[in-house]
Structure 1
Amino acid sequence: MTTPRASEVSVRPLVRTRSFVAFWTGQGISQLGVQLGQLALPVLAVSLLGAGEMDLGVLNAASMAAFLIVGLPAGAWVDRWLKRGTMIRADLVRMTAMSAVPLLWWAGALQMWHLYVVAAVVGVATVFFDVAYQSYIPLLVQRAQVADANGKLEATAQVARMGGPALGGFLLTLVSAPVLFAAEAGGYLASALCLGRVRDSEKRPERTAGSSLWAEIREGAVFVARHPLIRRVVACTALSNLFSSVLWVLMPLVILRELALGPVGLGVMMSIGAIGGLLGAPAGPRLARFVGEGPLLPLGLLLAGAGMLLFPAALAVGGGPLALVLLSIGEFGVSFGVLVYNVMQVSMRQRVCPPRLLGRMNASIRCVVWGVMPIGSLLGGVLGEQLGVAPALWISVVGTLLGVVPVAIGPFFRMRMLPDAEAE
């Protein structure tokens, strides 16, 4: 007798699951606030505080450094703690830190180093939130619903990314940038309140007698290093993130300074790009039925790399509507490709990993794939100052395309279905 795959078992629709809907709602509101803050941050730094290439590099590095510094122990700690409580505490810390920006601005005391500190604090809290978040989905929904849940959450995030920058660009014509930081703080508060309404059956894991923090960290890292598919995904994502960080740290300067498109232009590009992500998140499972789950990983990132080619092309145009069109199309392609890739690879990781290792598995991966981003951000600042913005963009694009190699030459093109835990 053949045992049916988890995906073939009848399950209750997610939209009728009260706890998932509460979780989903909180994340949607939080993502909208994050998008308002992310638009306001470069505008505040470049237009109001006069930040240059290296300033933006340090700012982006400060926001990502926590994944490299505390990423691994965070995974072990999260596996010892209740995931929902961890996310609530992280949201409250982020709310408090973001609230400091408008207060300092209104007091006339805001400086760049304040932004560095706020970015670092928010980064640390985000490490704990994200590790708990990715580890919580398989505990909140049934295994067969993991991909569907990730698709819904990513699609909602893309709606926020679509509407948030456009709304933020409009608001910046009426209010100063620091006001939008208050909106981001409000989003974190909404997330914490909605998480408080979620009910689950998670119990605090029992610790093995004599186990140490570093032994638990090592167990998660060894699982990642030894899994043949996850190992390739980590290498690919890390290389892509390293080189794409060079581009993203320079894009505010490209749009606000080099092309003089202003905050509205930046918001329009981000919003149109988010449409690509909105379509890409639910498209992943559907496309998998035609081309297979495995091939979507390299194909998604190749599409993203092709979209990035339009960014230096827009800079070569020299401004105006054509430059904005090229930037928007490029952002659309990047978002679509990255979301297709992310939904498939994250769902695979969640399915194949034993539940007790989820936090450490996610933390080990984040430590590598996000830990390279502060290095890429600083590299972007250095390349932008030493070589100029245009050469730095081309280096970023070529490096990102080369990052696809680990999944392009592996077994993924031959895999119609990515494995479940039962197949391990």
Structure 2
Amino acid sequence: MPSASSAVSDSGLPVPSALWRDGDFRRLWVGQTASQLGEHASLLVLPLFAVLTLNAGAGQLGVLRAVGQAPILLLSLFVGAWVDRWRTRTVMVLTDVGRTLTLGAAAVAGYLGCFGLPALFVVAFIVGALSVFFDVAYQASLVRLVERDQLVRGNSALEGSRSAAQIGGPALGGALVSLLSAPIAAASSALFFALSFLSIRRIRRIESIPTSSERPPRVWRRIHEGLRFVAGDSSLRTVCLASAAFQFSLAAMMTVYLLFLPRELHLSGTAVGLALAAMGPGALLGSVLAARLPSRFGHGAVLVSAAALGDSVFLCVPAVHDSPAVTVPALLAINFVFGTSNQLVSVTVMAVRQAVTPDGMQGRAAATIAFVGMGLTPLGSLLGGYLSQEWDVRTSLLVTAAGMLLSPVLMALSPLARLGRALPVP
């Protein structure tokens, strides 16, 4: 039960009453939740649109997914530079409008039967690019809306709703495609972005954007400033290195993991989906814990211990051998612990990053860390596939899971591990 000093948001997450009474924060939370639901629903609806409506093959489906993910690598640094000079409310509102119109047009064209696969590629890229803008902007917006001592709790609420959307979005999208049709499901995703627009446009607080009497520097210079700032701060530099090590190893491990479950354990598709779904509820718990544990035990201790626990739990997977009646509960427990620990680390890292970064650098810092952290994931996936071909799957799984432990080691040897209960200052 939440304490008397807290309220419970619609997601079931405890939110401090002082924070939840802030109407602008509530509007941001509602808008971000709706946006995340629409985004995660569209991640399933668009591939199903290609397969069920446009009869796309496996290779075409792979290209579609790659096109939708490409904006993360192509645009993140530029978006960070731009967001720091704009009002985040304006960025989020415009991206919601863009995604609503794009998916709405695709739904109408698909329903009328005048929509082809090349057009779907364009839709996937546009939606992915606009989502990059929204995600960078909402992270920067929190710093401009709440007090510094509310950053961890504010992030906990926002990331908790994002975790819920990761569970509910694909499930909702799949259900809509099954019950109705892919074009109508695409239209339903557009409605979530419209709801986000209606909520965020009502944010009243005037954001203070750093201004200068001099001519604004060129975008490349602003990107360089963001890279230099992150590289020059020991905590943020460690976050980048630890994130890159984790994401690279995780991509390799997940490639092997998805081979291991059906081939070695002979699990059905339903059982595989059930096992992986346990990460979602774990992430919800991690968001709740992130609002409480850092202020009690210290941010550094929480970061290192949670990362070590979550990254090491997958070392247990290669030891699983028995029947589905035993393996599925074991995998559920492993994935739940991983989801909890991973979300606890993510929320705490985000709060630390926001705390040490000046307001005029928030967007670039977030984009730089996302760019560095996610940039190696394609290579990690290739490594996982190569190891699975050259070695047996259990050995490959053990090696790639062990690689994730480099992340907590890097944090333990850095100033991050010495962070106390209070957040640092810029």
Scaled by the length of structure 2, what TM-score is found? 0.80
1:336 aligns with one of 333, 340, 352: 340
Letter of the aligned partner of 1:352 in structure 2? Answer: V
Report the RMSD for the aligned CA atoms in angstroms: 3.6
Q: Check if 1:410 corresponds to 2:414.
A: yes
Q: 2:11 aligns to what?
A: none
Q: Verify: 1:368 aligned to 2:372, yes or no.
A: yes
Q: 2:268 aligns with which of 258, 261, 272?
A: 261
Structure 1 SS opposite 2:286: helix
Alpha-carbon distance change, 81 to 389 in structure 1, aligned in 2, over 3 angstroms: farther
Q: Deviations over 1:348-381 (max 9, x none)?
A: 1111111111112212212211233344345556
Q: Aligned-pair distance for 1:385?
A: 7.1
Going from structure 1 to structure 2, the CA distance change for 1:243 and 1:284 (only over 3 Å counts) comes to same
Confirm or deny that 1:297 pairs with 2:313: no
Matched residue SS, 2:84? helix
Residues 300-341 of structure 1: CA deviation (Å, up to 9, x unaligned): 222222343466666x658x4444334432321221111111
Mapping of residues 229-378 of structure 1, within 5 Å: 229-248=235-254, 259=266, 261-262=268-269, 264-265=270-271, 268-309=274-315, 320-377=324-381
The residue aligned with 2:39 is 34
- Separation in 2, partners of 1:165, 1:214: 37
Shift, 1:233, TM fit? 1.1
Cα 1:116–1:376 shift into 2, 3 Å: farther
1:162, distance to aligned residue in structure 2 (A): 4.1
| Higher deviation after alignment, 30-39 or 339-348 | 30-39
Name 1:8's counterpart in structure 2. Answer: none
Q: Distance in 2 between matches of 1:29 and 1:250?
A: 33
1:74 aligns to 2:61 (yes or no): no
* Mapped partners of 1:204, 1:156: distance in 2: 27
Letter in 2 for 1:76: A
CA distance in 2, matches of 1:178, 1:248: 31
How far apart are the structure 2 equivalents of 1:193 and 1:409?
A: 46
Query: What amino acid is the match of 1:24?
Result: W
- Measured after TM superposition, the shift of residue 79 of structure 1 is 1.3
CA distance in 2 between partners of 1:227 and 1:330 (Å) = 34
- How far, CA to CA, are the matches of 1:171 and 1:251 in structure 2? 29
Which amino acid in structure 2 is aligned with residue 399 of structure 1?
G
Q: Secondary structure at the match of 1:80?
A: coil
The residue identity in structure 1 corresponding to 2:408 is V
Is 1:309–1:330's contact at 8 Å kept on the other side of the alignment? no
Partner of residue 137 from structure 1, selected from 142, 145, 148: 142
Alpha carbons of structure 1 residues 261 and 36: separation in structure 2 relative to 1, 3 Å? farther
What is the distance in 2 between the residues matched to 1:201 and 1:101?
A: 35
Matched, 1:89 2:94: yes
Farther off after superposition, 121-130 or 80-89: 121-130
Is 2:57 the partner of 1:13?
no
Aligned equivalents of 1:103 and 1:395: distance in 2?
48
User: Aligned AA for 1:95?
Assistant: T
- Once the two structures are TM-superposed, the CA of residue 167 in structure 1 deviates from its matched residue by 5.1
Partner Cα distance (2:192, 2:125) in 1: 19
Distance 2:122 2:390 in 1: 26
* In structure 1, distance between residues paired with 2:50 and 2:237: 37
User: Which position in structure 2 is the counterpart of 1:401?
Assistant: 405
Unaligned runs of 5+ in 1: 1-10
Which residue identity is paired with 1:238? A
CA distance in 1, matches of 2:165, 2:218: 41
* Distance in 1, Cα, partners of 2:197 & 2:383: 35
Query: Deviations 1:158-199 (Å, cap 9, x if unpaired)?
Result: 333344455556666645666544433322222122111111
Separation in 2, partners of 1:177, 1:254: 31
1:219 aligns with one of 210, 214, 225: 225
Q: Percent identity?
A: 33
* 1:302–1:404 Cα contact (<8 Å) kept: yes
Distance 2:106 2:389 in 1: 27
Residues 64 and 370 in structure 1, CA contact (< 8 A), matched pair in contact too? no
> Secondary structure at the residue paired with 2:404?
helix
TM-superposed CA distance for 1:46, in Å, is 8.4
Structure 2 distance, partners of 1:130, 1:97, is 18
C-alpha contact 2:38 2:192 (8 A) present in aligned 1: yes
How far apart, CA to CA, are the structure 2 residues paired with 1:306 and 1:103? 48
Cα distance, 1:255 vs structure 2? 6.7
Q: 1:131 to 1:87 in 2, by over 3 A?
A: same
**CA offsets 1:225-268 (integer angstroms, 9 cap, x no match):** 01011111110011111221234467667778985634x54654
For residues 367-414 of structure 1, what are the alpha-carbon distances to aligned partners after superposition, in whole Å with 9 as ceiling and x for unaligned? 211233344345556666777876664454232222332112223444
SS state at 2:69 partner: helix
Is 1:51 aligned to 2:51, yes or no?
Answer: no
- Unaligned stretches of 5+ in structure 2? 1-15
